[in-house]
Amino acid sequence: MAGIGRLSTKGAVLLLCDMQEKFRPNIFQFTNIVSNAARLLQAARVLGIPPIVTEQYPKGLGSTVPELGAGDLTAHAKTKFTMMIEPVEKELKALGDPKIAILCGIETQACIACTTFDLLEKGMEVHIVADAVSSRSQTDRLFALSRLRQSGAFLTTTEAVLLQLVQDAKHPNFREIQKLLVQPSPDTALLAFFSSL
C-alpha cells in the first residue's frame, strides 16, 4: 500500500552511501552505523534486495570500509552530494525502477539528504534507517532527520526494517534474518531526537 511506508522486498533497493575509511575518526557513532548497515546488507542478500554502493571522492576519502561487507560490490565514485549520479540511475533502470529505497550511510545532512530529496522527487518511497545514518555532529544528524521526515521520508531502524521485510515467522528466510537479530542493534544516541518530537 503506497503512502503509509509499508516495506516490501518487491521493488526495493538498498542504498549504501559513502561509508569510507577517512570518515571513520570523524563521524559520530561510525562503528555502530556501519555495523547496522552491514546487517542490512546481509539481510538484503538473503531476501534478494539489490544493493547499490557509492563512495564520495574515493581518491581523497578512501574506499568503503571492509566491515560493511560490500567488497564484492562495485562502488560508484562520485563528487556530488547525492547518490543519484548517472551510473546509479542506470543501475536503478536496469533493476526495473524500484519504488522503495532503504537508505543508510553518511553524512545525514549532506549526501543522505540530497539523495533523499532526489528520490522523493522521482516518486520513490524513501526509508531512512536512522540508526544506520550519521554525521560529524549529532546536531547535524538530528536536524537532518527531522527535516527529511518533514519532506516525506520515513524514519525507521535496522531491526524494524529486517522484521518488516519478512513480516511473518513463517517466511522462508525468517530463520536467517532472525540470526541477524540475536544481538540488539547498538545504541546510536537517537533518544535525543525522539524526546524533541
The catalytic residue positions are 18, 78, 111
Are 118 and 135 in contact by the 8 Å Cβ rule? The answer is: no
Reported as half-sphere exposure (CB side, CA atoms, 13 A), residue 58 has a value of: 15
CB atoms within 10 A of CB 49: 23
d(CA 145, CA 139): 10
Are 61 and 23 in contact by the 8 Å Cβ rule? The answer is: yes
Q: Which of 109, 88, 107, 85 is nearest to 97 (CA)?
A: 88
C-alpha grid cell, residue 44: 538484503
